[in-house]
Structure 1
Amino acid sequence: MLKSYIRKFILGVSLIVASATSFSMSIGPIYFNQRIDGAGGFEEYTIDNETYNTTRYKIQVKPVTSDAKLQKEMEKWVEVYPKVLTIPPKSSGKVKVLIKSAPNTKPGEYKFSISPTPLTIPTLENKKSDSKLAAVGIKAPLHFSMGLSAYVGNLGDIHKDLKIEKIKSKDGIKFEVDNKLKREVALEILVTSKKTRYRDVLKVKAGGKITKAYPEATKLEITEASTKIELKNLY
């Protein structure tokens, strides 16, 4: 049975360091997609430490642009709390991100990245070396970045400039999305039945088109009457 509240981007990575240390984490939601002029935009992210080790993460949100001058300006827009997060084994932690653009910022879409990077933590083995504990290995940091989109100004009407068509067939259900907005959008798809409940998120770039099929009704042999695949939220 799939989890009932999945709005996460799952990342699983194994690293062999000293005695085969393994890293595994997840972060969600996988989008920002908010207007950042005026009062600014706010999102809270959940980071799951899926390992059996306490892990400390350094949280960074950085601008993504080739314009060096703009990058320095955008760095001032971002507030992250906390900047360092320690999560016990098999537990989760929260990170708050606020992005507020400067007055008179040019309307448009602005890109950022969020990076929860595990910090290097020394590990000790109970082994004698001159009557002291000897450090025999380290947990290697894993670098990972997830893209985020934000925008300034009115870049279109999400109810008029976003065309979404839901098509049913013998092979399941699919969504065809045509995004005529001048910014990225995120669509939350909810799949429910007597045995299944989970969420999927589709990210569609400005001016982009995407088709996503959901053949769950066929694969799980669930009747159409008991299965709902519907658009839940827009961001």
Structure 2
Amino acid sequence: MPIIDLNSDVGESFGSWTMGDDAAVFRHVSSANVACGFHAGDPSTIAQTCRDAVAAGVTIGAHVGYRDLAGFGRRFIDCSATELADDVLYQLGALQALAGAAGSEIKYVKPHGALYNAIVHHEVHAQAVVDAVHAFSPGLPLLLLPGAVAGNKAEARGLRVLSEAFADRAYNPDGTLVSRREDGAVLHDTALITKNMVRLASEGKIVARDGSVLNIRADSICVHGDTPGAVAMAAAVRAGLEAAGVTVRSFA
């Protein structure tokens, strides 16, 4: 029987600004990509998110990003390799402390937003992320887009690499994600999304926006916590997967 992880980006509220319904999402996912304070999240939000994840039996991962609160981490930051590696290491340390206080620990790392997309091709930033993760803990897996240059660098450094697919995002024919600046980048049809993810988990295939069929091996499926209707979407995807005989379980 196929087994796949279901993850969501969480802990992204900041002060009085609320993003998503993390506690509700935790009823349906197996892994939580917890913001580390640089693209979103404040200490109290992150701490509560970790406590809620532990209570729900959900695995905690570090959702590290560029230092870009104003842009929600969705803008490329042209920083040096040293600065980026230090920023990533700083975020990992902060989340590890808060996760530890909640009775858990970081089990994997997933870059966020612009950083996630940049290290598909950006050699320097990809190496910086790999170096930071390796310095923090060589046993931590990296969750990445299939084919990312960061994946090759991570494997060369001895890190475990996990591949991810996105339930609520449209794909280009080359397997990259359609830019959020373009119409149709974010998907909202829950029935279609569920059908797509069952096909992905069962057959390793996903349909790009031009109709071409991509062969994708995925260890995990992401439902973004900030997408409108995220809770219902996560519930539908999990129900659809399980009805198709797919086991939803954390890779960690």
Shorter chain as normaliser: what TM range?
Answer: under 0.3
| TM, length-normalised to structure 1 | 0.26
TM-score (norm 2): 0.25
- Of Structure 1 and Structure 2, the greater strand share is in 1
RCO higher in structure (CA 8 A, sep ≥6): 2
